[in-house]
Amino acid sequence: MSQTRRKALIVGASGMVGSNLNILLSNDPGWDIVTLSRRQVPLGSNAQHLAVDLLNAEQCNADAGQLADVTHVFFCARAVETNYVIKLDENRLIVENLLNALSPVADRLEHVQMIHGMKWYGSNLGSYRTPAKESHPRLPGANFYYEQLDALIERSQRSSWSWSTLRPHFICGTAIGSPSNPIATLGVYAAIMREMGEPLHFPAGQAVWTANMNVTDVNLLSKAMIWAATEPRCAGEAFNIVNGDTFCWRDVWPSIAALFGMEAGELRPMSLRAFMEDKGEIWKRVATREGLRNSNIAEVADWAFADVMFAGAWDQTASVVKAHQYGFNEMVDTEEMFPRLFSQYRELKILP
């Protein structure tokens, strides 16, 4: 472990994962922080911020001098287009541009960590072997996570710094300006159904209703990120990071409905992206009446992301045995997490 003060570079600091890590690290006197994203960090931050477009190699090179004393990189960026389109080439490029710019200048660099997810195992493609384990072989075909990790490993092998990668699933946490997350999306859906005088219908069929699921509390993930980046045994390793329990929508849906003063409705398979096309005015009405932060529905909820979440008619679980064996033993009770996070969204005036 380094004896000197550490300096974190949080890449993707305006996003859900990056902004929550920034909050946790800011409370640790052992760390200095520099944040990087095109947008500012939501809710402000005392850290130095670099507004850089990682798709622009020239800009990365021009700003790299300001990163010379970074010791740990937390790579939490991903290039997502409208309707939750995640392009392979762009996501490889944002890794390559950053590391190519950083490598010649960052003499103190010890570790680069990459946040990936269960798409590593094809969770978005159909039924896969569960619980997913880090030792399971890669799937055939292209995957932006494989491209990113290969680019990272290749550069690590030519350098003195190590790497790690964490695999969370459906990350739940407060986020401003980052709509691709389950809590914001579920909350806006509930508020709109309530405004329409409907119960909280489940927007998918029986198989999704009863599939075994994992999610990851973003605070748990932040703690795991710091642990894996600073624990020497984690160098060159991948870890699944999920709450540690499993749940079915069937069992948590009534209590989520109750948090909005609603009854659970029936199973009504639908595309939320299509259903929500004309619901922007309803959200605007709710947001204005309740004094919420953002009345633009597209900036609070991501319906294409929701359609991916509710398309999973198969078990989506991961083993956390490896993380526990290596020494990360924290867990979160998912049924306790949902009401806690919805309360945080209400306090931040994002949800009613």
Ligand X SMILES: NC(=O)c1ccc[n+]([C@@H]2O[C@H](COP(=O)([O-])OP(=O)(O)OC[C@H]3O[C@@H](n4cnc5c(N)ncnc54)[C@H](OP(=O)(O)O)[C@@H]3O)[C@@H](O)[C@H]2O)c1
Site residues for ligand X per CB under 6 A? 12-18, 37-39, 52-55, 76-80, 94, 115-117, 168-171, 175, 178, 180-181
Instruction: Measure the CA–CA gap between 35 and 164, rounded to whole angstroms.
Output: 19
Judged by beta carbon, residue 17 or residue 186, the one nearer ligand X is 17
Judged by beta carbon, residue 6 or residue 167, the one nearer ligand X is 167
Beta strand 6-11 with 111-115: parallel, antiparallel or unpaired?
Answer: unpaired
Instruction: Measure the CA–CA gap between 133 and 319, rounded to whole angstroms.
Output: 6
Q: Across-strand partners of 163?
A: 112
Minimum CB–partner distance for residue 50 and ligand X (Å) = 9
CB-CB contact of 14 with 177 (8 Å)? yes
Per DSSP, the three-state class of 164 is: strand
Minimum CB–partner distance for residue 194 and ligand X (Å) = 24
Minimum CB–partner distance for residue 213 and ligand X (Å) = 12
Instruction: Measure the CA–CA gap between 144 and 233, rounded to whole angstroms.
Output: 26
Judged by beta carbon, residue 215 or residue 264, the one nearer ligand X is 215
Give me the DSSP letters along 124-158.
TTS---SSB-TTSPPPSS--HHHHHHHHHHHHHHT
Judged by beta carbon, residue 70 or residue 79, the one nearer ligand X is 79
122 DSSP assignment: T
Minimum CB–partner distance for residue 139 and ligand X (Å) = 16
Minimum CB–partner distance for residue 77 and ligand X (Å) = 3
The maximal CA–CA distance of the chain, rounded, in angstroms, is 61
Helix (H) / strand (E) element for 74: namely strand 72-75
Minimum CB–partner distance for residue 321 and ligand X (Å) = 19
Judged by beta carbon, residue 70 or residue 76, the one nearer ligand X is 76
Rg (CA), the chain: 20
Judged by beta carbon, residue 188 or residue 264, the one nearer ligand X is 188
**The one-letter amino acid at 128:** Y
Return the half-sphere exposure (C-beta side, CA atoms, 13 A cut-off) of residue 20: 24
Query: Helices (DSSP H) in the chain: which residue ranges?
Result: 16-26, 57-63, 88-102, 144-157, 182-195, 206-210, 218-230, 249-259, 272-275, 280-290, 297-300, 303-309, 321-326, 334-347
Judged by beta carbon, residue 282 or residue 348, the one nearer ligand X is 348
Minimum CB–partner distance for residue 90 and ligand X (Å) = 7
Judged by beta carbon, residue 168 or residue 187, the one nearer ligand X is 168
CB-CB contact of 332 with 217 (8 Å)? yes
Judged by beta carbon, residue 41 or residue 262, the one nearer ligand X is 41
Minimum CB–partner distance for residue 156 and ligand X (Å) = 18
Minimum CB–partner distance for residue 59 and ligand X (Å) = 9
